[in-house]
C-alpha cells in the first residue's frame, strides 16, 4: 500500500512556479536548440522591441525578427547562499561561452534563422552595482549592454516591477542563493544585444575564446 507524503508548502510553491514557467515558455515559443548538457541558454524568435544602432553600422528596426536568448534556469550554476563568489563567476562565464558556441553552430545550420541579423536578451535583473561590474564582462563576451531605466516612464517602471517580481520567483525556485542581498525594489533590468556577425566571428568555430 502506497503512503501519500504531502509536499511541504515551499516545495509545492516551487513546483507550481516551475509548471507555470514551462507553460509560459510554450506560449512564447521558447525552445531548447541543443541537447548538449553544458548549454545554459534557450531561444525564441521575437520582434525587436525598439529600433537600435549596433556596432558595424547595423541598424535594427523595431519589429524585425531577432533570436531572443533566455537563461535555462534549471541548468544555471547554483550560487552559494552567501552570494556570488569568484568560483561561481568563472563557472557562469564558462557556461555562457560554451552556450554561445553552441548557439552559433545551431544558427548557422538552421535555414529558418538565415535572415536574423542580431541576438537580443533580457536575462533578468541585477542590483545597479552588479550591472556596473557585469557590463564589462558582458561587453567582453560581445554584447552591447543597454540600460533602459534612465529613459523609462512611469508605465515602463510599473511593467518592470512585475517582470522583476516574476524573475524573483524563478530565482527563488531554481537558484535561491542568487537572491542574497537583493531587495526587489532596488533591482534593475538590462537589455543585451549582439550583431549576428559578432556571434559568427567569435563563436562559430570551435576553439574560439574570449
Percentage, residues of the chain above pLDDT 70: 55
Per-residue pLDDT band for 66 (boundaries 50, 70, 90) equals very high
Find all residues with CB under 8 Å of 38, minimum gap 6, and list them. 95, 98, 99, 102
Identify which of 192, 191, 185, 190 has the alpha carbon closest to the alpha carbon of residue 165: 185
Percentage, residues of the chain above pLDDT 90: 37
Per-residue pLDDT band for 30 (boundaries 50, 70, 90) equals confident
Domain boundaries, the chain: 29-203
List the grid coordinates of 196.
549576428
User: What is the spatial distance between Cα 39 and Cα 200, in angstroms, rounded to a whole number?
Assistant: 17
Amino acid at each position: 500500500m502506497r503512503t501519500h507524503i504531502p509536499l511541504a508548502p515551499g516545495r509545492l510553491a516551487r513546483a507550481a512556479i516551475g509548471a507555470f514557467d514551462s507553460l509560459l515558455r510554450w506560449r512564447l515559443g521558447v525552445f531548447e536548440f541543443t541537447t548538449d548538457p553544458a548549454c545554459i541558454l534557450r531561444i525564441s524568435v521575437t520582434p525587436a522591441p525598439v529600433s537600435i544602432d549596433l556596432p558595424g553600422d547595423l541598424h535594427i528596426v523595431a519589429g524585425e525578427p531577432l533570436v531572443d536568448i533566455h537563461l535555462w534556469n534549471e541548468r544555471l550554476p547554483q550560487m552559494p547562499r552567501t552570494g556570488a563568489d569568484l568560483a561561481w563567476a568563472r563557472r557562469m562565464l564558462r557556461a555562457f561561452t560554451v552556450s554561445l558556441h553552441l548557439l552559433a553552430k545551431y544558427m548557422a545550420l538552421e535555414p529558418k534563422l538565415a535572415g536574423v541579423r542580431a541576438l537580443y536578451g533580457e536575462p533578468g535583473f541585477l542590483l545597479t552595482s552588479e550591472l556596473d561590474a557585469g557590463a564589462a564582462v558582458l561587453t567582453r563576451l560581445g554584447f552591447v549592454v543597454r540600460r533602459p531605466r534612465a529613459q523609462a516612464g512611469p508605465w515602463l517602471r510599473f511593467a518592470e516591477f512585475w517582470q522583476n517580481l516574476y524573475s524573483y520567483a524563478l530565482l527563488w525556485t531554481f537558484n535561491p542563493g542568487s537572491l542574497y542581498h537583493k531587495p526587489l525594489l532596488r533591482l534593475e533590468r538590462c537589455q543585451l544585444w549582439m550583431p549576428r556577425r559578432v556571434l559568427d566571428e567569435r563563436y562559430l568555430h570551435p576553439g574560439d575564446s574570449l
